[in-house]
Structure 1
Amino acid sequence: MNNPAIKILFAEDEPSLAMIVKESLESRSFYVDHHLDGAAAYKAFEKESYDIAVLDVMMPKMDGYELAKRIRANNQAIPIVFLTAKSQTEDVLKGFDVGGNDYLKKPFSMEELIVRIHNLLDRKKVQTSSQEFGLGGYSFNFPQQKLVYQEQDAVKLTHRESHLLYHLIQNKNQVLDRSYILQKLWGNDDFFSGRSMDVFISKLRKKLASDPSLEIVNVRGYGYKLIES
């Protein structure tokens, strides 16, 4: 699979694992810029332009969460994948809260990592298209991840909130299949991903609360429905 234009910022402090991942990706024509700690990776980010970031969570000098926060403060578009041995729900949710788009639990297969990278880059292409939606009294700018209610100040959405709201709008007044959206946005439909999606649905409900004509309902056993009455 040729990927000559895909440049990856890779931060991983385990030299043996880093070498395997780097060589495997480069054998498929990715360009991989590897760093052994978060601080070095951030310095590289400030100087170079990357298509995607693949970050270990536990690293010296600067952990993956802090690195992702700093990257996201400067670049809202770059996809971020976390590599982590942590599997607690709160750890996964923290990764999404600081700006991560996906995560892989160690140990993982290289094929799975490559699929996740391509999926995130495909989503990025969709997001950069010019799309703005009217939703009740709200205006939702998908590429800019902004939600505006009437004349009030814009509310900034996270990557995950924006994509979830986009799919709800695309299926407005219809059931958005839970398994489908988990596979589409989280990459799998396991317990941790399901808990994460429930949290993001709750956040969207709060951000849409100014307009009583809008409601996100849970259709038990099937998924969610965005209703505009």
Structure 2
Amino acid sequence: MRVLIVDDEPELCAQIAETLKQQRYAVDVAGDGAAAVEKIFTDPYDLIVLDVMLPEKDGFSVLGEIRAEGKTIPVLMLTARGEIQDRVKGLDLGADDYLHKPFSMAELLARIRALLRRSHDQASSQLRIGRICLDINTRAVTLGDQPVNLTPKEFSLLEFLLYNRNRAVSRFNMAEHVWGDAFDPFTMSNNIDVHIKNLRRKLDDQAGKIIITVRGVGYMVKDEQA
């Protein structure tokens, strides 16, 4: 999952980014509202952590532009101000949740997980396909009752495919969400294919019955009943 952090406090941004990366999220950062809008309208994100008080454009303006263009990306707003009118304004503009500074990283992660589940109509913290179970809370994967040791990139690819089950996902889209801006378009396709090959081996899916190759596009996971 790819998250954009928008805050003008470099130390806080770095702390949030490191925490999310440890949880295997792909993370981008913007230090002001104008830079945030440019990124949001250029790159795909699964969630935005958006501070209210920003230079160039404040968080309310950024949120207003996002929703005015019909983007339904979940937005978690951060604010040092606790006034009810600020919360009401943000929610009226389309914010999905609010978190007051200072906050614990544990609470931030819990809010992010909840918003991602909600945005994908996922009531449970567990994503399942066949004998495979991925728990977005514990960041663990099991095959039957046996743990599967995945690299961070393998985990992120599997998570992205499971969130998009029954839909073909292009290699480019997978790279954008898993590697963020740090991928080389010239080696991207081979890198994705190597990671998928390793995933299939670890998930006992060498025949490609779970992670299906969609020729000319990329990959998908498909429910048996779909």
- 1:30-179 equivalences under 5 Å are 30-126=25-121
Q: Residue by residue, what CA displacement relative to the aligned partner does 1:148-167 show, whole Å, maximum 9, x if unpaired?
A: xxxxxxxxxxxxxxxxxxxx
TM-score under structure 2 normalisation?
0.52
Unaligned runs of 5+ in 1: 1-5, 128-229
Query: In 2, Cα distance between the equivalents of 1:17 and 1:83?
Result: 11
Offset of 1:74 from its aligned partner?
2.1
Residue 76 of structure 1, CA deviation: 3.8
Distance 1:28 1:122 in 2: 16
The structure with higher relative contact order (CA 8 Å, sep 6+) is 2
Displacement of 1:75: 3.6
* Residue-pair matches, total: 122
Q: Deviations over 1:162-197 (max 9, x none)?
A: xxxxxxxxxxxxxxxxxxxxxxxxxxxxxxxxxxxx
What is the RMSD of the two structures over their aligned residues, measured on CA atoms?
A: 1.2
| Cα distance in structure 2, aligned partners of 1:106 and 1:60 | 18
Deviation of 1:39 after TM superposition, in Å, equals: 0.3
Report deviation, 1:124. 1.1
Which letter maps to 2:25?
A: F
1:132 maps to: none
CA–CA distance in structure 2, aligned partners of residues 10 and 69 of structure 1: 17
Compute the displacement of 1:86 (Å). Answer: 0.7
CA apart distance, 1:123: 1.1
Match runs of 1:5-16 below 5 Å:
6-16=1-11
Q: 1:112: how far off?
A: 0.6
TM-score (norm 1): 0.52
Please tell me the residue identity of whatever aligns with 1:26. K
Q: What per-residue deviation string (whole Å, max 9, x for no partner) do you get for residues 46-68 of structure 1?
A: 11000011100000000001101
Unaligned runs of 5+ in 2: 123-226
Percentage of identical aligned residues: 43
Q: State the match for 1:227 in structure 2.
A: none
Query: How has the CA–CA distance of structure 1 residues 75 and 117 changed in structure 2, closer, same or farther, with 3 Å as cutoff?
Result: farther
Deviations 1:10-56 (CA, angstroms, capped at 9, x unpaired): 10001111111111111111111101001001001111000011100
Q: How far apart, CA to CA, are the structure 1 residues paired with 2:23 and 2:119?
A: 21
Partner of 1:26: 21
| Amino acid across the alignment from 1:77 | T
Paired with 1:32 and 1:74, the residues of 2 have a C-alpha distance of: 23
Aligned to 2:143: none
Q: One-letter code of the match for 1:30?
A: Y
The 4+ residue runs of structure 1 with deviation greater than 3 A are none
1:44 & 1:36 partners in 2: Cα distance? 11
1:186 matched to which residue of 2? Answer: none
